[in-house]
Structures are given as C-alpha cells and as structure tokens.
Structure 1
Amino acid sequence: MGTWSTVCTTFFAKRILGFIEKRVNFFQADKAALNVYCLRAPSNVIDPDVCHKLHDHVSKKLTQSIDKDQLIVYPLFRKEFVSELWQTSTKLLVSIEARTSDSEDFNQEFNLITRFIANGGHVMLLIDPPNDSLSGNRSEFGTILSDPLTDVSERFVTNGQSGVTWQWSIQSSIPHLELDSSPDKQRTRILVGSGSDGSQLTVRVVVMLVDCVNQHPHMLLEALRLLNIPCANSLLNPHSEIETKASADRIVMHYLVGPNEQAITPEKMQSNLLTLKNNANETQYAIQPIYSSDPSLPAGFSWTEYLSTLKTHVLGRALLWAESLPSSYSLGERLLPTLPADSGLVIVSNQQTEGKEPSNAVSSSVNLSLNLIGRGSNRWISLIGQASFTFHMTLRRPCTITPDSNASFPFMNLVTLMQHVVALAIVFASRRIIAGRLGLVRTEDPEPEPESLANLKLPGPAIRVKWPNDVYVVDDEIRSSASGTKAGNRGILGKLAGLLTKCTMVDSRQVDFISGVGINVQNVIPSICLQQVLDDVQPTAVSITTAEVIAQVLNQLERLIMPVVDPKSTRDLDWLLDLYTKCWIHENQRVLVQTPPVASGDNPRACIIVGLDKFGYLRVRDACDGAEYTLHPDGNSMDMMRGLIRPK
C-alpha cells in the first residue's frame, strides 16, 4: 500500500485536521522535556546488521548535532513506541523508514504519529530507498522529493474548519542545484509539513533522504533548525567529537573500604577487577582505597553527606566510585561471582557511558551511550545530575521460627517481590528527603516508619510507583478525576526512576541480588527530576545531592527488608504488599483485558485492578461478573498507562 512517506503526503493532512480541530492552540504549546527518539520498525527485508549500522550512524550524527544541554538521543523500540509513553516527554520523533509497511502496522504507526503531531510534537522522517533511483510512480520510496517545486504548496494545502490549515512544501538546502538539471537536486531537498491553528504556520514534519545525513551534514542541521530544535555546530567542525566515553585504557576507582575490611580487602578488590580484563581492548580498573576517617576525600562525590546520611548495617558500607564508568550494572554483574555474601557493595559514578545489548534485541536497536536496560529492554540513560548506582544484596531465609511468626516463610515470594521493594524504597527515599527539606522531619526526630512514609501527603505532585518497578511523579488530583480506561497518561508528569534487578540462587536459603538504579536528581532531561519536585514547593531549600539520594534509598531498602526476614518480627509479605499498593498509581484503575482467542466475542473484558498476589502479579476483577484473575507478565503485554492488557 505504499510507504509511510508516500502515503503521508496524500492523505496525512486530511487525517491530522481531524485531530487538530479537537484541540485548541496545540501548535503553540511546547514540550518542556527535550528528548530525541529514534524509531525503526522491524524489517524482514533488510539484513539486521544493516539496520544496526544505519541506526548507529544516524544516532551518532544526531548526537553530534543537537544541543546536549537540552536534548538527548534515546532509542525507541517498537514495543515502547506503540505504548505511547514516549509522547509525554518527546520533543522530536526521528523515524528511519526503509521498507513498505503492511496496512495494520502502517495505520497504527500513522495514528500514533498523527496524534503526536497534533499534540505539539515534531517528526523527522529519514527515507532509506531500497535502490539508487527515486524515479517512478507514487508508490515508490520518496518520489515526492523529486517533484518540481512549482505549485507544490498549492497542491498540498488542506484547509479545515476553525481556520486550521496543513500545508506541504519542498525546499532545497542547496539553492544552486535548483538552477540546473543536476540529478542530485532531488536528494538535497527537504519536504516540510506545517500546520496552523489559525494564527501562524508552524513546521511540524520534515522529510529527507537518510543519505543526506552523511553526504550533506548541513541538511541535518537545517532540518533541525526548521523544527526549532536547539543545535550544536559540531557537524560543521570535522575536528569536534561530542560523544562522552569513559577512558578505554584505565579507570581509577576510589574504594571506600567498609567496616568489615576483611570481607573485601583493597587487595582482593583490585584482584577481582583485574580478572575482568579479558583482552587488550577492555577497560583496566585501578583501585585507590579510602577510609571514612581520611581527612581528605576525593573531589567529585559528596562523601561527607553520603556517610552522614547512611544509616544501614550492611548496604552501602563498601563503595566503589569513579567519575565516569561504562556501566555500573555491567561491572557489578561481572563482579558478582567474586563478592562474598553480605558485601553490601555499591558502585557509583557521576556519569555512565555505555549499555549492554539485550539478548532479545530486535533489528531496531540503536547503540547509544546508555547504562541500564530495564524490563522489556527499556533503556535508562545516565546523565550528569542523575543518581546512577548498582548495589549487591544478600537475602537469606530465616533460620529460626518463633511462635508468633509464619512457620512456612514464603522465601521465594520475597525473592520475586524484590524489584517491587527496591522501587518502593526509591519512593520512600524521595518522600523522606523532601519532607526533611520542608521541615516536616527534623534532624533530631526519629526516622519516620515505613507506614508514615506510605501515608505521607506532601504539598505539590506525588511520587508514586508504577507496577512493577518504575517511579513516576504524578498529579493526584488530575489522576483521581480521570475515569475509565481512557485515563491513560492523565496526571503523569514524568518518570523519576527506574531499575533492573538480577538474582542468583546460591542455595535454597540464600539468593544474591545485583540491582542497578537510575534516579533523576538534578537532571531535568529526559523527563523530570527530584529537584524540580522540591523547587515547586520550596524553591529556597537546600539542593538535593545524588550522594544523599543513594544513601537514603539504601536506608529505606534495609528498613523494608530486615523486619520481613527477622524471625522475631510480625511484619510479613502482606505488610510489604500493603505499603506498595498504598504508593502505586493503579488504585481502582480500569483496564481492558484481552483473553485468547483475541477475536472472541467477549473481548476485551473491562476489569478493575484490585491488588497484587503473593508473587507481585496483578490481580484484576471483571467489572461485569466479579470474577477475579491474576495476570502474569510473562504471558501478557501490559500497557498500564493505556489501560490495555493483551496476550503476547
């Protein structure tokens, strides 16, 4: 049925008018978050290696071109694309087209992108023709770019009601090519789509050949300029390289030796790190031991605030810190076999520059500077001002049982709930810090109990958990006023934190965890940060540091876990689950559940989320017959923000 670029020029304008006319002055609204996403739909026509190289190349050029103080390039997989969560923070969607869409995929993509534009978003479409020729009929790739300039605007103007207009125009970024018959002139053109809400035309879409990104780098800057995207001039300077990379030769890591020095001596830690260097191209780590009693600690990390905030018995007492790392999670994952039980080691860096490729990556992956991969291969980008850290924790089954405790302790249930508990610890830590800044908790006061933090109502937006392990900032009033499954992203102000947890079972009584965490503390890109939440209610308060946040998360995690595994405590899994659901965003959320076969007459079922089971899976109740079901993520695709749950 033709390509995205071909069809969009023929009836895109008509469809977008229907969206725009339902919204008032959306073209005048600008997103506060300035993200750049790359979408590449899966292809069965092109070699996956070619797809990877194409993405790597475009992503590198984009990274060099944009103002990195305001923008960041982020890879968008198809699964995340259709979930629509990206629309809450995206300034520009970059789509690389290199194949013909089938009708179902096309209509889904088309509707999502159209709504995004109608809501004030920008789109850059890069066309990768399957052959060197752009001549031919309208169904071929990019033929619109070879049309004469004469009367193009008039041919592609669409007027709607209420003064709304959509207009296509073609311009050449190399003017002299329009004066001759050069065969390259069609390759240096930019198709520009502009919309007006009745006052002025605003550029929302640009289309050009992907080859121009490499052969005519100034065209990329011109396209970004047309879309009002802040640019750097690095592409015009061949000697400029903006990619941030940790040194591939040697990284000095400062090792804060814990109180149990014999568990991991500096010499043992250095030996462990040396075993990770398997070839000449891998990073070499050097250890510089430091102690909390040292009169002078390395600059770059708030050691004093970290140590004064940390109240744990085990977690975080030993710490590895570097100014920059490829990935704290990858390093922790590789160190795990060498770590003794209860090491409590935390690995921290101010910036992390690489990510590891997920084992189930599709051909749409983009290799960017990333540090964490979450559920569904989601990426968490590390920026200056973000608390990016990885910690090791040992979980043991209680050895003794008291008459007041559960004789059959559900150890494996606690293991599966660990990602939920870490997310809850982030929520509690964030609330605790803001409460302290607002004077609600004084230094001399006892630490608030978990129940108090779960019920704490702070002024301004709320910090809540999204099942199972993401942390979001939400406007509770807007969220509560939204009803039905169409509530979607209403009241969602941005993602604050994400995490990845991996466990290794040592035996039936011991499990070791490596958890990688990313929390936006001072960085307003790519979404929202903790400092913004504080500034909204108390702009004169003392700034929040990443060191304080890391220490507070570890404090809250120990306070949540220790009572549950303590045989003398009456706090159990139900206590944890109750705390979790008090802090989540899914209270009485309505969802549509599709059950196989999807085409059956009773699909989808309208259900209400009622809680979690003992393993942390969602429990829903059928709104019609009252039957309750447990939904397992392994067999279902759960788009919680859209209120849709369907079989994979």
Structure 2
Amino acid sequence: MLKVGARRRFQNLTSLPNNPFASIFLTKMELQSPTTLVLCGKSTVENELARCLKSNNRLKLPDGSPLNVVLNSEIECIDRTENDGNFCVNSYMSSLSTSRFGRLLVYSPKLASTHDVVSHNFEELPVGGVCVADVQFKGRGRSKNVWESPKGCLMYSFTIQMEDGRVVPLVQYVVSLAMTEAINDVCRNSGMPHLNVRIKWPNDLYLDGAKVGGILCTSVYKSKKFNISSGVGLNVSNQKPTTCLNSVLQRLTPCAHQLQLEDIIAAFFNKFESFYDIFINQGFQTLEELYYKTWLHSGQRVIVQEKNEKPESISEDAVTIQGLTTSGYLLAVTEDGQTCELHPDGNSFDFFKGLVRRKLT
C-alpha cells in the first residue's frame, strides 16, 4: 500500500488513484505537506547508497519539515506528455557518461531550494551528488538575490570538494564554461542551430542580450577541505521572467526542435567532469582561452565609479578589460597604461558602475 501511495504522490497527484487505501494515504500525506524526494543512481553502487539514505532517514530539510523519500525503482516512470514536462530521471541517467559527477540523483517535483538540500546534506551525499527540482519556491542567486524558478527552468545543485582554497573562487567559471559548452554539444548532436550563450562575469549566462541563467557557488571549510555547493539555474522552456533557450531556438528554425532538461544536465556533467579534471591537475589557465571565447568582456571598455574622500563625490575612469587575474577578478588596463584588478562592489553588479579598482604592481 505504501508503494502505491508513494508512486501516486510522485506523479504530481493529478488524479486520485482508484485504490481507496491509497486515497486515504494520499490524504494523510497532503495534510502533512511533505516534500517528495526521489533517489536514483547510475550504477548498483549509487543505488545501494540511495537505499541506505532512504532506510536510515539520513536526508533532512533545513527547516525540519517532513520528507517523503522514495526510490526511483519503486515508482512508475513519468510520461512527459502526461505530466507537463516533469524531469524524467531515466532519460537523464541514460545520457550520463561520467565516472563521478551526477551519478547519484535526488529529484523533487517541488522544492524550496535545491541548493539548501545539497548544502544541508553535504556529508550524506557523495562528491558529485546532484539535486534537481521541477519547481523551486525559495530559489536564490548571488548575494541572496531571489532566483525565479518556474517549471521549464532547469534547476539543480551538486557537490564538489576541494583542498586548495586559492582556486576555490575559480570553480564557478569552470561551471559556467561547462554549461555553455554543454548547450553547444546538445545543439550540435541534435542537429539544432547553434545558440550563442555567453558568460557575463562573474556568474551569469546571457543569450541575445537577455539573462537566461546563473551560477551560485557557496563553500564551507571543514576537516581541511572546502565543501562546495554549486547551483545552476537555466531558462530552457520558461519564457518568463526574461526569455529561454527554446524560444530563441524557435526563432532560428521552423522545425519543432526543443531542448530537453535531461539532455542538457547530462551533457553538463559529461563536460564538467572533463573540465574539472583539467582545472585541478593543470590549473584554470589551461581553460582560459576557451573561457575568453565564451565570455562577453575581452577588450570591453567600462567605467569604474569610485567614491572620493569628499562626501557624495564620485570619480569616473575608463578602463579596458584584458582578462582574469590569478585570484579570479577582472584584469583591466587604465588609459595611462596601468594594470588594475576590478572587484564587484555591493549586492548588484553592472558593468558601467559599481566596480572597485585595485592597482596591481
């Protein structure tokens, strides 16, 4: 009976099952408003870990609210056409070819925040474990900005662990690059037109002048290691609040091509694992040439606004962006030839204001 009830709960509860006992179970679950988490692994190793996580009740939500944890093997596969674009776990797993990242999946139809689930359960999840949600109602971006998370937006967070704190700030650039290259791979392999998704420093993704994605990386130092929770939000099929990949794709081709969430995230992990190994073993410099081809800023002239000693006095100077410094900030050259490092200042980042300049020797 529990198995039937868990399955119906996972299927977004569009209709009550005919089984009266399942209906009673459903009513109780609705009254408690639990969050459903579906666990799935790529291999028997990850599936065994999923069973342990479920049987030992090891996964928790930050606010302590009730959880309904089920294994993917216990439920029926969701039909995309009948469930309005819900994430298909099996399709994702069949496209994944990594050895570490993305192999243990935690999926939820509706969740406060994938980032909170990953960071709160970091020690229970393997490195590379990922949480995906169809809808988030407390998603967030950089500096605690709200990230709108409707259905059709690809939303996931995953775990990374690093030892060298000097390069931790650079990992967000590896994530950004992996996503732009993953989108290229999916379009190319599917015979779709190229989508020129570009990186806006430090962590936004832009297409046709509009923001379509963002990356959020947070870290906690524990036991001589940095536990990094990396979150990604990408507008794939949702036309609001800005635009989405499929809307742009439809303008480029008369064919009914549609990018699928599962293909993109699988391609992302396939690409990220390769880039991450290069990053750890050879340094970010090995990826810089490809990164600069993808970002928006090489040779861009921007205005640096800086407060002077006098109250409410602001000076403005033009600088030209050259690249990134070793610490991950912007490397720029002033009009008189001096090199400087640019830092974002405050909650919002605009390339024409809100930059702090530090002279480099």
Query: The TM-score by the shorter chain falls in which range?
Result: 0.7 to 0.9
1:269 Cα deviation from its structure 2 partner = 4.1
Q: Equivalent residue for 2:134?
A: 350
Q: Distance in 2 between matches of 1:499 and 1:473?
A: 15
Q: Equivalent residue for 1:505?
A: 221
Q: Distance in 2 between matches of 1:535 and 1:543?
A: 8
Amino acid at match of 2:350: M
SS of 1:591's equivalent in the other structure is: strand
Q: Equivalent residue for 2:202?
A: 468
Task: Pick from 50, 53, 70 the counterpart of residue 288 of structure 1.
Answer: 70
Q: Equivalent residue for 1:254?
A: 38
* Deviations 1:507-565, CA, capped at 9 Å, x for gaps: 44x32211121110101111111112322222315321111122122222112101232
- The structure whose Rg is larger is 1
Task: Describe the shift of the 1:272–1:577 C-alpha distance in structure 2 as closer, same or farther (beyond 3 A).
Answer: farther
Task: Pick from 238, 242, 245 the counterpart of residue 523 of structure 1.
Answer: 238
SS of 2:259's equivalent in the other structure is: coil
Q: Distance in 1 between matches of 2:62 and 2:324?
A: 43
Task: Pick from 611, 633, 644 the counterpart of residue 323 of structure 2.
Answer: 611
Amino acid at match of 1:586: H
- Alignment pair present for 1:325 and 2:106: no
The aligned runs of 1:11-30 (5 Å cut-off) are none
1:584 Cα deviation from its structure 2 partner = 0.9
- Alignment pair present for 1:271 and 2:56: yes
Task: Describe the shift of the 1:270–1:517 C-alpha distance in structure 2 as closer, same or farther (beyond 3 A).
Answer: farther
SS of 2:100's equivalent in the other structure is: coil
**Residues 40, 47 of structure 2: 8 Å contact kept:** no
The aligned runs of 1:188-199 (5 Å cut-off) are none
Q: Distance in 2 between matches of 1:326 and 1:631?
A: 34
* Deviations 1:328-368, CA, capped at 9 Å, x for gaps: 1112221113334x2x2111121112x2xxxxxxxxxxxxx
- Alignment pair present for 1:339 and 2:54: no
- Alignment pair present for 1:413 and 2:195: no
The aligned runs of 1:209-220 (5 Å cut-off) are none
SS of 1:557's equivalent in the other structure is: helix
Q: Equivalent residue for 2:250?
A: 535
Amino acid at match of 1:642: F
1:304 Cα deviation from its structure 2 partner = 3.7
SS of 2:123's equivalent in the other structure is: helix
Amino acid at match of 1:389: Y
Amino acid at match of 1:383: P
Q: Extract unaligned runs of 5+ from structure 2.
A: 1-29, 80-85
Q: Distance in 2 between matches of 1:333 and 1:419?
A: 16
The aligned runs of 1:354-365 (5 Å cut-off) are 355=138
Task: Describe the shift of the 1:277–1:505 C-alpha distance in structure 2 as closer, same or farther (beyond 3 A).
Answer: closer
Task: Describe the shift of the 1:388–1:265 C-alpha distance in structure 2 as closer, same or farther (beyond 3 A).
Answer: closer
Q: Distance in 2 between matches of 1:258 and 1:591?
A: 46
Q: Distance in 2 between matches of 1:247 and 1:302?
A: 27
1:642 Cα deviation from its structure 2 partner = 3.1
> RMSD of the TM alignment (CA)?
2.9
1:264 Cα deviation from its structure 2 partner = 2.7
Amino acid at match of 2:319: C
**Residues 277, 284 of structure 1: 8 Å contact kept:** no
**Residues 266, 287 of structure 1: 8 Å contact kept:** no
Q: Distance in 2 between matches of 1:636 and 1:332?
A: 26
Amino acid at match of 2:38: H
1:610 Cα deviation from its structure 2 partner = 0.9
* Deviations 1:561-593, CA, capped at 9 Å, x for gaps: 012324xxxx43212233222211112111122
**Residues 621, 627 of structure 1: 8 Å contact kept:** yes
- Alignment pair present for 1:629 and 2:351: no
**Residues 111, 135 of structure 2: 8 Å contact kept:** yes
Task: Describe the shift of the 1:538–1:501 C-alpha distance in structure 2 as closer, same or farther (beyond 3 A).
Answer: same
Task: Describe the shift of the 1:527–1:511 C-alpha distance in structure 2 as closer, same or farther (beyond 3 A).
Answer: same
1:415 Cα deviation from its structure 2 partner = 1.0
**Residues 638, 646 of structure 1: 8 Å contact kept:** no
What is the number of equivalent residue pairs in this alignment? 320
Task: Describe the shift of the 1:637–1:621 C-alpha distance in structure 2 as closer, same or farther (beyond 3 A).
Answer: farther
Q: Equivalent residue for 2:352?
A: 642
- Alignment pair present for 1:547 and 2:233: no
- Alignment pair present for 1:380 and 2:90: no
**Residues 273, 285 of structure 1: 8 Å contact kept:** no
Moved more, 497-506 or 514-523: 497-506
1:613 Cα deviation from its structure 2 partner = 0.5
**Residues 248, 283 of structure 1: 8 Å contact kept:** no
1:419 Cα deviation from its structure 2 partner = 1.3
1:296 Cα deviation from its structure 2 partner = 4.9
* Deviations 1:79-129, CA, capped at 9 Å, x for gaps: xxxxxxxxxxxxxxxxxxxxxxxxxxxxxxxxxxxxxxxxxxxxxxxxxxx
* Deviations 1:197-254, CA, capped at 9 Å, x for gaps: xxxxxxxxxxxxxxxxxxxxxxxxxxxxxxxxxxxxxxxxxxxxxxxxx986223322
Q: Distance in 2 between matches of 1:523 and 1:579?
A: 28
Q: Distance in 2 between matches of 1:501 and 1:646?
A: 22
1:436 Cα deviation from its structure 2 partner = 2.4
Q: Which runs of 4+ in 1 moved over 6 A?
A: none
Q: Distance in 2 between matches of 1:617 and 1:640?
A: 15
1:272 Cα deviation from its structure 2 partner = 4.6
- Alignment pair present for 1:590 and 2:301: yes
1:472 Cα deviation from its structure 2 partner = 0.3
Task: Describe the shift of the 1:395–1:538 C-alpha distance in structure 2 as closer, same or farther (beyond 3 A).
Answer: farther
Q: Equivalent residue for 2:77?
A: 297
Task: Describe the shift of the 1:602–1:320 C-alpha distance in structure 2 as closer, same or farther (beyond 3 A).
Answer: closer
Q: Equivalent residue for 1:100?
A: none
Task: Describe the shift of the 1:584–1:631 C-alpha distance in structure 2 as closer, same or farther (beyond 3 A).
Answer: same
The aligned runs of 1:427-438 (5 Å cut-off) are 427-438=180-191
Task: Describe the shift of the 1:602–1:332 C-alpha distance in structure 2 as closer, same or farther (beyond 3 A).
Answer: closer
* Deviations 1:54-103, CA, capped at 9 Å, x for gaps: xxxxxxxxxxxxxxxxxxxxxxxxxxxxxxxxxxxxxxxxxxxxxxxxxx
- Alignment pair present for 1:575 and 2:286: yes
Q: Distance in 2 between matches of 1:622 and 1:439?
A: 42
The aligned runs of 1:32-71 (5 Å cut-off) are none
Identity of matched residues, %: 27
* Deviations 1:138-185, CA, capped at 9 Å, x for gaps: xxxxxxxxxxxxxxxxxxxxxxxxxxxxxxxxxxxxxxxxxxxxxxxx
Q: Distance in 1 between matches of 2:334 and 2:348?
A: 16
TM-score by length of 1: 0.46
